[in-house]
Structure 1
């Protein structure tokens, strides 16, 4: 047998686990020689980028980069890897079918025993999908960059994928030394086998393991035995399948000398780990605020409230400052029942106004926690000029009180307040630190929710503003239409429809869908819509109009693709000419109730290029319906498209009714919940004249 090179060894090992942290994502595995020439290219790489091995082996790795991208980044990443350091980065590659694809890459050097030089092993995955699975929100950015807790992400084979600076310092090794290796390989002088057993238990059962002790020595302090408290949480994909483990570590060596301090450290670690898993996943203000309150009780406090700026709760921007006082909306409260303290505090949903000199306002203005370690008669008397609330709290047992401002991206968003009644002592410095970290995580999630909803509203407004505001079809055609935005800002895109009058009493009915999401797709939709309106009135043949729209997309700085359906109808004769560019097929309903999906040449989407479009002619009996829609109406996660199309035709076959009623019925039955994608729907009844038809 021929001895394998280290490159082949590593590729063989990686191929045994195509899952791991990236779950069901295709993980491309390729290798280059020391000069950057691609020497290995696996099946997953072909699936991800479209190139077969004969097409790519022998080319320089930089040839994969998008022609319009800054190739210096890709070359810099490769050159860094080949010099002996593992690297991670994001580049824009060029897919074989001609579209850009953002990739996350992991590259590491591999000594080549045959040639005496360093080759490079590269793993790559779709960056958008990887970020969505891994969770690339600002919560994680802040957690990794600033948390004193050591954090690592491992795949299902317990290989390190990412570590934060705190863990690098604990282990005395850079992140590049961790990537792709197991704990037992990396730190043989700690009880790694026990830790890996705990992680395998988490992967198998889904139950977190908290406060498992890691002991031993690391390169950070090789002469001294240290102790770490470790917690492990399983990460799952949307289908509930395990895709990795998040490990968080706290060095508790010094705390071991004092049992009470050790207990506080474990409590803090567990609470922060739970906060990372629970707070902010919904991107909803109310839910995030309530999650923070519930997380704090009873582990940090006996009661807690979370108040957000009233302007933010109304959906507006946070505001210029706090010079004139502050108005806060109570969005979080715990416990909700069974506490004398909670009965005194304002209920959820109440707006509270505080003057400039009030402690609440001062805590926000100073941007630091406010603490009354011992709430007593003297403290109550000092606060009496601002509020009578402390005087009410003292009789029900509140003896310690603190507030932590909610601050994210240099914006003050609100405040979290904590009350202690149990005889465990007053809030201390460690409690203030913990409250501040919890508040910081919640604040980032609250601000993410603010930005999410602002972009969502902007995209919806832009989308709606570019749809036709007034449709006036020519005599002989009756139309009804609907537009339903997606529930997710990332899915709002470029769906549109229109009805245009053409010379000779004819009409153009059109519907399209830009293959993208968010504000950029909506803007491209507006450009295409304007182009169609201008071109259609020139009475161009459908095929010519399609090629003009191709040219419009070619003018864009960033390549875009759109599906499109264009029909020219003469209502007097019922003659119809339809051209399709990768769009779902339209349906017709004849007066006798016969429904059929039109079997038209599918064409390819606009923007692909090189397509010769064909037009289909048909005659529609007077009173027939032509039903045009975008894919959001008939596509749904977990549902077969043929089943959905059959349901569409069944609904269309029901007894005749008004077009508006039919539009509402289709959307109600086919999209009963929040839409996963934009939906545009256009229905036309052909050959209906309010007055006698014009003479031929």
Structure 2
């Protein structure tokens, strides 16, 4: 009876004049019971006004047994002789039954959801797709207000506003939304067209029609493209392996997965070489994971820990096969792996059983497998599919390149730092001239480790050389160049060259290094340039002599608390060549602090150099108990929050060797005075309580003074210095340096310097402004037998 079609006729006043067999079968009423009665008496409720005006619509009929029937009714007027309706032929058919017209059939069979509403937003018609989306037959919705048919209040408000806008303005509206529907298990993307429906030849609005197109596939494709675009900016913002893995997880959760993790092979985080093959069970280390739930309750492995992945698990399969591995609920391997994970989960986290889909994607870069990314869906209604696998592989590929870049950077940084650390002085040599403290802070920037370095070099005569330098560039090449320069400075310092001459020789060396390293590339020498500050302090004369090659001048803090920069005439950086270097000499009191530093301490693109230098001078005047504490104070006060370059800081507090530790004699250029000079030296040793050193000292003084008288020029001077060692110095006005040679068996001379070299710790000569000085050092500790 529900699918019966019925026909009836009425006169112009609405009285029933004819009743078909179909009408009897539909309502249970015979023609005798109906003909002559008002048609309205057959309705269970009044028809909608728009349906009456349009002569078609959905009405509710009353069956003879009292039940209600919903039917789509259409009235066709029968015109009289004067052209006015003399009556109506009314047909009723079940909702969803075959349309009698081609247009009706097209509406009913359309592949998109189509509906018709009256001007009060009540359902008048729905096609088959609309009924499937709503999850109920057409008769369950006909005549109902739209908002009463959906539960999503937010969607209802926007949709309803569009229907009302069309009804009020008579203009079409396009409405887009991302929402669900009663019969759908997830939200869909809809593009909805709404337009007014008018009676033919009339401007009066009789209803609102709509067509809803489900463009979810296009929507998700756009979302995937947007995710890839976001990945380009969000992954790899730092050259840190762990942070890069975290960025991938943050991108996946929650829009792509409910839980995601990144596990890497152990060699990626160390210095080992990659394994040749991945077979059987695979051990991975968890570096990042994330979840839509606070505390990441889905994680069965803690961050930083390793876990063994069985050969049948999705992550192990993905690593072996080199492509995405999809696994869904119901598959044996999936169920076995999830059960094993749940067994290790902390107590009380049983909702993990809701896992229904897993996607494991290998992280591969430059042909090398680094690890695996795993995405899990729990609350997300859809399983991972082929498109998700393609997206996952693309995201993993981008992340893997960033992880590999970070790994390579970390390895190069570690190598450069180890190289630089091995070249920097580990323990400063013992000397009496200055008390020293130092700090070296490697750069944390993406450019890598720089070429900053420092050194403290003991010189003859209890003097000490203080050195800081900075090689242009970063990374291993800069560290290697730094090592070359550091060695060269030590070699030149051993020759005891003055600061300006030492920098001249160092400048030549850098020029040669640049031309030797790149002979055919036309590279500017300055690309391998460096800056250097070389200073020599003499605790006897209390004078500091310094020269700089493109380097910031040192700062000096006097015992009265005043601080200033030493006014140096700074030469060009090493490697530029063509300009001389000038030395500056100042006298310092005992207890003065000399600060040597590299430009990373005071120079930054966002800082004013003069202001930073003033901060340095103020920080150096801070009251601290030790130089180490002063180093920390200076760095805290002056160093930028995020330094972009390496920083080397060397502090030296001056000491003085007073007259009680230095004895000087002018020597007449006559061999007859050698004995008297030797006697004077012996007596001075007795005053110092060093009688045990008299024998060797007499030999050294006798030999050096005799050589000065015989081969040198006046004035001649002997000086003894009691320091950590006993230093004997003989100066004369000649610039000719002696040479050690081995005398033959029948030679009468030539054994003097050889004897001095054998009896003392070390000996040498240095040029002075008025000649040269020959010196020899003796240990003051008793010999061990």
Whether these two folds match at TM > 0.5 is yes
- Match 1:602 to one of 570, 574, 578: 570
Find the counterpart in structure 2 of residue 440 from structure 1.
Answer: 397
Find the counterpart in structure 1 of residue 368 from structure 2.
Answer: 411
Find the counterpart in structure 2 of residue 401 from structure 1.
Answer: 358
Q: What CA distance in whole angstroms lies between the structure 1 residues aligned with 2:454 and 2:554? A: 13
Q: What CA distance in whole angstroms lies between the structure 2 residues aligned with 1:273 and 1:616? A: 59
Q: Give yes or no for contact 1:407–1:413 (8 Å, CA) kept in 2.
A: yes
Give runs of aligned pairs for residues 418-433 of structure 1, distance below 5 A: 418-422=375-379, 424-433=381-390
Q: TM-score, normalised by structure 2?
A: 0.52
Find the counterpart in structure 2 of residue 363 from structure 1.
Answer: 318
Q: What CA distance in whole angstroms lies between the structure 1 residues aligned with 2:422 and 2:361? A: 42
Find the counterpart in structure 2 of residue 561 from structure 1.
Answer: 529
Is the partner of 1:488 in helix, strand or coil? coil
Give runs of aligned pairs for residues 614-633 of structure 1, distance below 5 A: 614-633=582-601
- Match 1:686 to one of 646, 650, 654: 654
Give runs of aligned pairs for residues 294-309 of structure 1, distance below 5 A: 294-309=250-265
Q: Give yes or no for contact 1:477–1:689 (8 Å, CA) kept in 2.
A: no
Find the counterpart in structure 1 of residue 407 from structure 2.
Answer: 450
Offset, 1:612: 1.2
- Shift of the 510–344 alpha-carbon distance from structure 1 to 2, 3 Å rule, reads closer
- Match 1:660 to one of 611, 614, 628: 628
1:350 aligns with 2:305: yes
Q: What CA distance in whole angstroms lies between the structure 1 residues aligned with 2:368 and 2:429? A: 48
1:482 aligns with 2:436: no
- Shift of the 692–312 alpha-carbon distance from structure 1 to 2, 3 Å rule, reads farther
Find the counterpart in structure 1 of residue 113 from structure 2.
Answer: none
Give runs of aligned pairs for residues 201-600 of structure 1, distance below 5 A: 259-313=215-269, 318-323=274-279, 325-337=281-293, 342-343=297-298, 345-372=300-327, 374-376=328-330, 378=332, 380=334, 383=337, 396-422=353-379, 424-488=381-445, 490-556=447-513, 557-558=517-518, 559=525, 560-600=528-568
Offset, 1:544: 2.0
- Shift of the 532–314 alpha-carbon distance from structure 1 to 2, 3 Å rule, reads closer
- Shift of the 576–308 alpha-carbon distance from structure 1 to 2, 3 Å rule, reads same
Q: What CA distance in whole angstroms lies between the structure 1 residues aligned with 2:380 and 2:459? A: 82
Q: What CA distance in whole angstroms lies between the structure 2 residues aligned with 1:439 and 1:664? A: 43
Q: Give yes or no for contact 2:281–2:308 (8 Å, CA) kept in 1.
A: yes
Q: What CA distance in whole angstroms lies between the structure 1 residues aligned with 2:652 and 2:352? A: 71
Q: CA RMSD in A?
A: 3.0
Q: What CA distance in whole angstroms lies between the structure 1 residues aligned with 2:659 and 2:467? A: 25
- Shift of the 258–604 alpha-carbon distance from structure 1 to 2, 3 Å rule, reads same
Is the partner of 1:396 in helix, strand or coil? helix
Offset, 1:473: 4.6
- Shift of the 695–322 alpha-carbon distance from structure 1 to 2, 3 Å rule, reads farther
Is the partner of 1:555 in helix, strand or coil? helix
Q: What CA distance in whole angstroms lies between the structure 2 residues aligned with 1:358 and 1:311? A: 21
- Shift of the 338–457 alpha-carbon distance from structure 1 to 2, 3 Å rule, reads closer
Larger radius of gyration: 2
Offset, 1:608: 0.7
- Shift of the 277–474 alpha-carbon distance from structure 1 to 2, 3 Å rule, reads same
Find the counterpart in structure 2 of residue 158 from structure 1.
Answer: none
Specify every segment of 5 or more residues in structure 1 that has no aligned partner in the other structure, as ranges. Answer: 1-211, 213-256
Is the partner of 2:243 in helix, strand or coil? helix
- Shift of the 387–598 alpha-carbon distance from structure 1 to 2, 3 Å rule, reads closer
Q: Give yes or no for contact 1:330–1:348 (8 Å, CA) kept in 2.
A: yes
Offset, 1:368: 1.1
- Match 1:635 to one of 603, 615, 618: 603
Find the counterpart in structure 2 of residue 107 from structure 1.
Answer: none
Offset, 1:542: 2.3
- Shift of the 382–655 alpha-carbon distance from structure 1 to 2, 3 Å rule, reads closer
Offset, 1:310: 3.4
Offset, 1:260: 3.8
Specify every segment of 5 or more residues in structure 2 that has no aligned partner in the other structure, as ranges. Answer: 1-175, 177-212, 519-524, 665-785
Find the counterpart in structure 1 of residue 638 from structure 2.
Answer: 670
- Shift of the 324–424 alpha-carbon distance from structure 1 to 2, 3 Å rule, reads closer
Find the counterpart in structure 1 of residue 613 from structure 2.
Answer: 645
- Shift of the 262–613 alpha-carbon distance from structure 1 to 2, 3 Å rule, reads same
Deviates more, 1:606-615 or 1:361-370: 361-370
- Shift of the 368–532 alpha-carbon distance from structure 1 to 2, 3 Å rule, reads same
Give runs of aligned pairs for residues 91-102 of structure 1, distance below 5 A: none
- Shift of the 338–641 alpha-carbon distance from structure 1 to 2, 3 Å rule, reads closer
Is the partner of 2:298 in helix, strand or coil? helix
- Shift of the 458–690 alpha-carbon distance from structure 1 to 2, 3 Å rule, reads farther
- Shift of the 479–387 alpha-carbon distance from structure 1 to 2, 3 Å rule, reads closer
Q: What CA distance in whole angstroms lies between the structure 1 residues aligned with 2:407 and 2:285? A: 15
Q: Give yes or no for contact 1:512–1:563 (8 Å, CA) kept in 2.
A: yes
Q: Give yes or no for contact 1:478–1:688 (8 Å, CA) kept in 2.
A: no
Offset, 1:687: 2.2
- Shift of the 690–672 alpha-carbon distance from structure 1 to 2, 3 Å rule, reads farther
Is the partner of 1:695 in helix, strand or coil? strand
Q: What CA distance in whole angstroms lies between the structure 2 residues aligned with 1:497 and 1:643? A: 24
Offset, 1:283: 2.2
Q: Give yes or no for contact 1:404–1:439 (8 Å, CA) kept in 2.
A: yes
Offset, 1:303: 2.5
Q: Deviations over 1:439-459 (max 9, x none)?
A: 111111111111111111111
Q: What CA distance in whole angstroms lies between the structure 2 residues aligned with 1:388 and 1:337? A: 16
Q: What CA distance in whole angstroms lies between the structure 1 residues aligned with 2:378 and 2:394? A: 22
Q: What CA distance in whole angstroms lies between the structure 2 residues aligned with 1:658 and 1:689? A: 21
Pick 1 or 2: higher relative contact order, CA cutoff 8 A, min separation 6: 1
Offset, 1:537: 1.3
Is the partner of 2:428 in helix, strand or coil? coil
Offset, 1:644: 0.7
